[in-house]
Amino acid sequence: MTVSVANGRVLIVGATGFIGRFVADASLDAGRPTYVLVRPSSGNQYSKDKVAKALRDRGAILLKGLANDKELMVKLLKEHQIEIVISALGGATILDQLSLVEAIHSAGTVKRFLPSEFGHDVDRADPVEPGLTMYKEKRQVRRLIEKLEIPYTYICCNSIASWPYHNNRHPSEVIPPLDHFEIYGDGSVKGNLYQTI
C-alpha cells in the first residue's frame, strides 16, 4: 500500500525540544501546513515558550494540550484533519506516546506516524541501564503502533553521526557540536538501508 502525504497537514509533538524544533523548522521550510502541540505554560519554561513563539511567527499553528490526553488528541487530530504526526518527545515523556497512538487510531485521519526514536534501533540493540529503561518504553510504543496497524516510519539515526562515541568518553560527558552539522546528499533520497553482513 502506498500512502500519499505529499502536502498533508503535519502535527509535531515535542516541537519545542532539542530535536523537535529542527523538525518543525524543516516542516515549515518544506511549506507544509505545520501544527505544533505545546504544553499549557507552567511559568517555568521561558525557553520553550520562546521557541513556540518563533515557530508561530514562522507560520506554525500552535495547539495547546498534552500528548497523553487521548480525548483531546482525538479532537485535535479530527478538527484539524492532521495526516502526519511526528513525535519528538523525549526522556520522561516517551510513554505519553501510548495515548497519542491510541488517539491516532481513534481519529482515523493520520496516514503516517513517526514516533520518537532518533537513536539506536531499539529492537536491534541490547543496552544496559540507564538506557535499557528507555529502550523498553520505546519498544512498548512500537508494539502498540504495530498492533493497531498504524502506518509508521521509524527513524533510527544511531549515535547521531558518531556522537557521543567519537572519543570513547562516557556519553553524559560529551555534547554534540552545536555550531555546525553536516547533511550528506541533496535531500532527494527516499530512504537508505545499511546492513552489516
pLDDT tens, position by position, 119-150: 788 888 888 887 888 889 999 999 999 999 99
What is the model's pLDDT at position 54?
96
What is the model's pLDDT at position 5?
54
CA distance 127 to 131: 6
What is the model's pLDDT at position 31?
95
Q: Which of 187, 186, 139, 183 is nearest to 157 (CA)?
A: 183
Q: Kindly give the parts of the chain with pLDDT less than 50.
A: 1-3, 161-164
What is the model's pLDDT at position 3?
47
Q: Where are the alpha helices (DSSP H) in the chain?
A: 20-29, 46-58, 70-79, 96-107, 131-147
What is the model's pLDDT at position 123?
87
Question: Do residues 118 and 23 touch, judged by C-beta distance below 8 A?
Answer: no
CA distance 77 to 109: 7
Residue 95 resides in a domain:
yes
The boundaries of the domain holding residue 18 are 10-173
Percent of the chain with pLDDT over 90: 56
Residue 108 resides in a domain:
yes
Residue 192 resides in a domain:
no
Positions annotated as catalytic residues are: 138
Cis, peptide link before residue 130, omega less than 30° from 0:
yes
Residue 187 resides in a domain:
no
Q: Which of 1, 26, 2, 7 is nearest to 155 (CA)?
A: 26
CB count, 10 Å around CB of 109? 19
Q: Which of 113, 115, 111, 83 is nearest to 97 (CA)?
A: 115
CATH number for the domain spanning 81: value is 3.40.50.720
What is the model's pLDDT at position 7?
74
CA distance 133 to 71: 27
Residue 180 resides in a domain:
no
Residue 111 resides in a domain:
yes
User: For the chain, what is the domain count?
Assistant: 1
Helix, strand, coil percentages (3-state) for the chain, rounded to 5, are 35, 10, 55
What is the H or E stretch that residue 34 is in?
strand 34-38
